[in-house]
Amino acid sequence: MSRHPGLDSHLSTAERRQKLLQEGAAFRADMVKSRDIVRANLNSRSLATILLGRMTGIASSVFGDPGRFRASNLPAMLPLLLTGASWLSKRCTRKPLLIGVAVLAAIGGAAFISSRNNQATTDDE
């Protein structure tokens, strides 16, 4: 029934029943669509992308400032490390992880070469 009982009071019992059945069918169809969307977004590739994004964010915040690394809190990072270790042990995550590591290595190598070229030009001046 609707939230306002006065609106459906002019309908007969059979009409109200039919309306409720239609609302229930629409609700179930929406639930199936939502479940499919969630399943599509919870595959290993999207989870690997999310995990690598978070790990790079953590790594840049921890290792970006060398003085901050000494002050980092290992017990606070331990649940993240254990979750990552258990996730890595699953067979379906190896290929996306290798792809992610290759991409990160390529980006790191490009950044390293770029920083070396910048240092060489500043030393020459």
Residues 62, 69 contacting (CB under 8 angstroms): yes
Q: How far is CA 16 from CA 2, 6, 50, 80, in A?
A: 10, 12, 46, 52
* Residue segments in the chain with a per-residue pLDDT below the cut of 70: 1-9, 61-77, 91, 93, 120-125
Q: What is the pLDDT of residue 8?
A: 62
Domain ranges of the chain: 1-42, 44-124
Q: What is the pLDDT of residues 47-64, one digit of tens each?
A: 777 777 777 777 776 666
Q: What is the pLDDT of residue 1?
A: 46
Q: What is the pLDDT of residue 81?
A: 74
CA–CA separation, 57 and 59 (whole Å): 5
Q: What is the pLDDT of residue 74?
A: 65
Q: What is the pLDDT of residue 113?
A: 87
Angle at 34 between CA 32 and CA 35, to 5 degrees: 65
Q: What is the pLDDT of residue 114?
A: 84
Residues 55, 84 contacting (CB under 8 angstroms): yes
Q: What is the pLDDT of residue 27?
A: 96
Task: Note the residue count of the chain.
Answer: 125
